[in-house]
Structure formats: structure tokens, C-alpha cells
């Protein structure tokens, strides 16, 4: 059994993610992370070098997350921690981010680099209203939105979306073979692509819009003990 959960890295959805894992009790939870990004989330003050596109994306996400009073990637940490509490195996299903961005920068033509840098700088001053507007456009016409992205940034679309979809779909399928019941927490923009690659009719899908609208009970009174996360870097 496979469940795909579409998330956004800047939204307040940690409680919803935890609630889904508690309800479904998957044997394994795949998260859109690699080892380095997980370490960056758990130790934000650690000093790490990164390619320029990665830094721009990270700064943009942090800027947007502040407007939602969240930390970037908090939904991924919520998934990892809840998997730990429920006894599920945690699997990092994404590619190595540093290698991915180096590949992106090496393969990207000069013109596309300039456009990307300009777009990245503009993103540093994007408003919450603009984020919601872009999300609405994506939700209303996902195929058209990604087609436009491919037209403006073909290399970015291939490396950051298409190539990763292939890798994550393969690792999700392998995880199901090994663990049986798998929930994959991935960016909402990857859900449709991963689902198509898996080519299965029995996959359960929960999109970001549903997640943001989901009502969950207050967990403030719930007691939690210490938990050692059991992580697989490779399936």
C-alpha cells in the first residue's frame, strides 16, 4: 500500500502530517530529504557550503516561511518524529541536494542562469498574498503551471522536478516491497509526477489543499517521551 502526501515546505501543516501518520500507522514513512538536509533541519546553526541556486532557494523559502510564522521543513521533521513515535521506519527518498544543485548549475545555459538569479532575487521580497496566488494557479491548472515552468526554466524543471520524481518513485516502490505499507511525504509539485511513474490505481493521494483544510484535535496535552529515529538512507 502506498500513500502520497503532498506538502508545502513553508506552511503550517505539521499537526496534519502527524495526524495522518497516527491514523494510518504505516510501516515506513518516506520523506523528501537527504542526509545533509535532515542534518541542516535538526542543526540549523551548523556551517555548510552550498551552491548558489541552493542558497537562493533556501533564503526565499525562509523569507516565505516567516510570513506563515513557520520554519522551513518543519512538516518533514514532524513526519520523521511521528514515524519514530509510531515505530515506523523513516526513509530518505530524495536525491543528494548538493549534487543535484551542482548538476543544475553545470547543465543550465547562461541565459537561464541569469533568469533564475533574477527570479531568485525577486523571490526574496515575495509577499504572502503572492504565494497564495501562485499556489491557487498551480492547484487550478497543475499541468499548465508546470508546462510554463518548463518553457521558462527547462533545465530547472528537468533536474529539480522530473529527475527527482523518477528517483523518489523508484525508492517508494522499493520501500513498499520491503515494508508493505508506505506513506511518502513529498512536495505537492511532485505528487502527480510520482503517481504517474508508479502507474498504480491503488495509490492513495492527499494533496496540500486537503491537508491545509484538514481539522485535527489539539495535541498540547499529549505526552511524548524520548524517541530514537530509525532512519534508512537507502531502501
Confidence bin at 196 (pLDDT 50/70/90): very high
Go through 59-84 and write b for each residue having 16 or more CB atoms within 10 A of its CB, e for each that does not: ebbebbbeeeebbbbbbbbbbbbbbb
Q: Is the pLDDT of residue 229 over 60?
A: yes
Mean pLDDT throughout 6-14? 87
| Length of the chain, in residues | 235
pLDDT score of 137? 85
The angle, 0 to 180 degrees and rounded to 10, between the axes of the packed helices 74-86 and 35-42 is 100
> What's the Cα-to-Cα distance from 65 to each of 117, 124, 128, rounded to whole Å?
20, 11, 9
Locus of grid cell 513529498: 186
pLDDT score of 65? 62
pTM of the model: 0.86
pLDDT score of 221? 43
Of residues 211, 161, 225, the one with CA closest to residue 183 = 211
Mean pLDDT throughout 174-195? 96
Of residues 53, 86, 125, the one with CA closest to residue 224 = 86
Locus of grid cell 486537503: 210
Distance CA 45, CA 89 (A): 27
Q: Is the pLDDT of residue 125 over 60?
A: no
Concatenate the DSSP letters of all residues of 111-164 into one string. Answer: HHHHHHHHHHHHHTT--HHHHHHHHHHHHH-HHHHHHHHHHH-HHHIIIIIIHH
Cβ(3)–Cβ(184) below 8 Å: yes
Give backbone dihedrals phi and psi of 70, rounded to 5 degrees, phi first: -125, 170
Of residues 17, 18, 65, 71, the one with CA closest to residue 43 = 71
pLDDT score of 117? 80
Return the SS3 of 204.
Answer: strand
In the chain, domain spans:
2-232
Distance CA 30, CA 186 (A): 8
Amino acid at each position: 500500500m502506498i500513500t502520497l502526501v503532498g506538502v508545502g515546505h513553508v506552511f503550517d501543516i505539521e499537526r496534519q502530517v502527524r495526524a495522518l501518520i497516527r491514523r494510518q500507522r504505516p510501516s515506513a514513512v518516506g520523506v523528501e530529504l537527504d542526509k545533509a538536509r535532515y542534518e541542516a533541519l535538526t542543526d540549523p546553526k551548523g556551517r555548510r557550503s552550498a551552491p548558489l541556486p541552493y542558497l537562493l532557494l533556501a533564503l526565499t523559502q525562509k523569507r516565505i516561511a516567516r510570513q506563515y510564522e513557520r520554519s522551513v521543513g518543519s512538516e518533514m521533521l514532524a513526519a520523521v518524529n511521528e514515524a519514530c513515535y509510531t515505530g515506523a521506519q523513516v526513509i530518505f527518498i530524495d536525491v543528494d541536494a548538493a549534487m543535484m544543485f551542482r548538476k543544475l548549475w553545470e547543465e543550465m545555459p547562461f541565459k537561464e542562469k541569469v533568469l533564475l538569479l533574477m527570479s531568485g532575487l525577486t523571490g526574496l521580497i515575495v509577499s504572502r498574498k503572492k504565494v497564495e496566488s501562485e499556489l491557487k494557479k498551480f492547484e487550478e491548472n497543475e499541468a499548465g503551471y508546470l508546462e510554463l515552468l518548463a518553457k521558462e526554466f527547462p533545465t530547472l524543471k528537468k533536474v529539480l522536478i522530473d529527475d527527482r520524481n523518477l528517483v523518489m518513485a523508484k525508492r517508494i516502490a522499493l520501500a513498499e516491497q520491503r515494508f508493505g505499507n508506505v506513506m511518502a511525504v513529498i512536495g505537492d509539485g511532485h505528487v502527480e509526477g510520482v503517481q504517474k511513474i508508479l502507474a498504480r490505481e491503488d495509490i492513495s493521494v492527499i494533496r496540500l489543499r486537503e491537508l491545509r483544510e484538514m481539522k485535527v484535535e489539539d495535541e498540547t496535552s499529549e505526552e511524548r517521551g524520548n524517541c530514537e529515529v530509525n532512519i534508512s538512507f537507502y531502501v
